[in-house]
Amino acid sequence: MNMIENSDQAKRLARAIMSDVAMYNKEKVESGIKNDNIFDVLAEEIEEGRQHFFSRVSSELNPEMIFELAVVDVLIKRAGKIESSIW
């Protein structure tokens, strides 16, 4: 499998991975947002997604930053409608 060397493709992959995490773990996302511990609740799933992403993306693209931005965009921003004391 070829490594992704295009930043737009890498961003799409990161968002797709995190969208899958969010979709298959809706209850955990809601609970994590409500209780302000989403990163603890989804630690295993996020790490699994991170490892998959790193295995597909060239290290020259700064994959850590791309993946972390996708985590925030998908898990946090999209969960803005969930009642929480953090907003």
d(CA 22, CA 75): 7
Q: What digits encode the pLDDT tens for the residues 57-83?
A: 999 999 999 999 999 999 887 666 666
Structural domains in the chain (count) = 1
Note whether residue 21 is domain-resident. yes
Note whether residue 69 is domain-resident. yes
Note whether residue 15 is domain-resident. yes
Note whether residue 23 is domain-resident. yes
Note whether residue 2 is domain-resident. no
Note whether residue 86 is domain-resident. no
Note whether residue 67 is domain-resident. yes
Q: What's the pLDDT band for 51 if we cut at 50, 70, 90?
A: very high
Domain region containing 61? 7-79
- Say what the pLDDT of residue 55 is: 97
The token pair at 87 is 């907003």
pTM assigned to the model: 0.88
d(CA 33, CA 28): 8
Closest CA to 74 of 15, 23, 33: 15
